[in-house]
Amino acid sequence: MPYLQLIDVDRRLSFEVESLVNDEFSTIQMARSALDEMSTTGVFLRTPSTFRNFISREPNSPFPPESGRYHLYISYACPWASRCLSYLKIKGLDKAISFTAVKPIWERTKETDDHKGWVFPSSVAEEAGAEPDPLNGAKSIRELYELASTNYSGKYTVPVLWDKKMKTIVNNESAEIIRMFNTEFNDIAEKAALDLYPPHLQAQIDEANEWIYDKINNGVYKCGFARKQEPYDEAVNNLYEALDKCEGILAKQRYICGNTLSEADIRLFVTLIRFDEVYAVHFKCNKKLLREYPNLFNYTKDIYQTPGMSSTVNMEHIKRHYYGSHPTINPFGVIPQGANIDYSFPHDRDRFSD
């Protein structure tokens, strides 16, 4: 796929949000974290990603797929970054593309202002599951953005796909990074035959992505960051309408788009795996727990047990981040004990044949 021709539902949604920001909600134009992305009506509005280059096998691509050239910066806590790490693992790209995880709890990124965001530990021993920046010696993800663009004034988010050769950010939009990992590195991927966006399912996947993103992936944030009752009620109703829809689909087939694992499943999974431990409590998504949905719960265990996927889930980082980085929601940083669900327990999804 030519790198300038990528079309993705998250990009369309981002442009729609950007239009709203420009026209009605200029107060969030300078958002530097999700906590800043609030409209004057109390609605959470996610602003678009800004680095949108594409790694491509096209002859004239400035970013060709080369083993050892790219590095992925992630947080195990972040569902968007976890999408990308999931692809790295299940496509067998972890030998070709290195990655580094940041610390789970946001900290001050500069002494000269109050911004808090993703930071690296000073040593491997400081934080289990996180590592110092091996490439640039950066203290924070913010420093990477400022290295890539001296005039950058947007959010300092993960994932970050870094080009070691050009010393810049290639892309920070997870929806596009997973498309690159799916196809553009197949010459060096250990599992090149695995296609999570096959041509015959693309329309169906795109349609599923649209409502899953709006009502579930981003929907839980709309619930959690809402500052007025009406937008919260609307977001919760939309969330559970979509979860009920998923439950119905999964009563008839193993995955969202049939009996084959696809992009839509990875995108849904990263929210579901966080649902009972975080979103049900922290984001007030408590009308019904994931484990009260028989099909969705078994489906989540099924995907978790897909080779490579369990290594992308660090529940300690997930819980510590959400409960420790959002003081307006959880000012004392107390972490609920939670159900501590073991997703390695047997599931019933084998009843559906491929």
Q: Please write the tens of the pLDDT for every residue from 178-198.
A: 999 999 999 999 999 999 999
Binding-site residues for glutathione, in ranges, read 118, 155-158, 173-174
* Residues that are catalytic: 78, 221
What is the pLDDT, as a whole number, of residue 263?
99
pLDDT band at 44 (very low <50, low <70, confident <90, very high): low
Average pLDDT over residues 307-318: 99
171 forms bridges with which residues in the sheet?
A: 52, 161
Crossing angle of helices 79-90 and 174-183, rounded to 10°:
0
Average pLDDT over residues 236-257: 99
What is the pLDDT, as a whole number, of residue 64?
98
pLDDT band at 13 (very low <50, low <70, confident <90, very high): very low
Q: Please write the tens of the pLDDT for every residue from 250-299.
A: 999 999 999 999 999 999 999 999 999 999 999 999 999 999 999 999 99
- In the predicted model, what is the mean pLDDT of the chain? 91
pLDDT band at 50 (very low <50, low <70, confident <90, very high): confident
What is the pLDDT, as a whole number, of residue 34?
59
Domains and CATH numbers, the chain: 49-183 (3.40.30.10), 204-351 (1.20.1050.10)
Q: Please write the tens of the pLDDT for every residue from 61-105.
A: 999 999 999 999 999 999 999 999 999 999 999 999 999 999 999
What's the rounded Cα separation, in Å, for the pair 242 and 248?
10
Average pLDDT over residues 119-123: 99
pLDDT at 14 over 60: no
How many Cα atoms within 13 Å fall on the side-chain side of residue 9? 18
pLDDT band at 60 (very low <50, low <70, confident <90, very high): very high
What is the pLDDT, as a whole number, of residue 3?
40
What is the pLDDT, as a whole number, of residue 31?
52
Binding-site residues, in ranges, read 118, 155-158, 173-174
Q: Between the CA atoms of 142, 144, 145 and 150, what dihedral angle is there, to the nearest 10 degrees?
A: 110
What's the rounded Cα separation, in Å, for the pair 316 and 311?
13
